């Protein structure tokens, strides 16, 4: 039986993302007709790849699209005056 793209799957993926190992609370999971889209940002490419790998391993028959970005870390060019 193939995995249903339903709310329970979404909840299971969220709990996998927030378990001790991955520890990412800021990843979004969007259900499309035939696949799941992961979004949000993490701090490194290794972290993004590990997330996608673990979800793929856990749900091999679900098509996962990984749109997770890496948060940029350049110095700022502006100063905000607080008043």
Partner 1 sequence: MIRIAAVGDVHVDKDVLGRFRPALEELPDRADALLIAGDLTRHGTVDEARCFVTEFGGLGVPVVVVLGNHDHQSDQQARVTDVLTDAGITVLEGEATVLELHGHRLGIAGVKGFGGGFAGACASNFGEREMKEFVGTTEVIAQRLEAALMSVQVDALVALTHYAPVPDTLVGEPLEIYAFLGCYQLGRAIDATPAALALHGHAHHGSERGRTPGGVPVRNVAHPVIKQAYNVYQLLSDSVDSALVAN
Cβ-defined contacts of 49-52 (< 8 Å, 24+): 50/22, 51/17, 51/22, 51/24, 51/27
Min CB(61)–partner 1 separation in Å: 28
Residue 15 lies near partner 1 (rule: CB under 8 A): no
Min CB(67)–partner 1 separation in Å: 14
| List 46, 53, 58, 63, residue binding partner 1 (CB under 8 A) | 46
Nearer to partner 1, 28 or 63 (CB): 28
Q: What's the rounded Cα separation, in Å, for the pair 65 and 77? A: 33
């Amino acid at each position: 039986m193939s995995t249903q793209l339903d709310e329970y799957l979404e909840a299971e993926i969220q709990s996998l993302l927030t378990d001790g190992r991955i520890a990412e609370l800021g990843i979004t999971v969007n259900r499309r007709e035939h696949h799941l889209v992961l979004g949000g940002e993490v701090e490194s490419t290794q972290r993004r790849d590990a997330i996608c790998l673990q979800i793929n391993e856990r749900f091999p028959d679900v098509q996962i699209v990984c749109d997770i970005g890496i948060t940029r870390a350049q110095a700022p060019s502006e100063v905000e005056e607080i008043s």
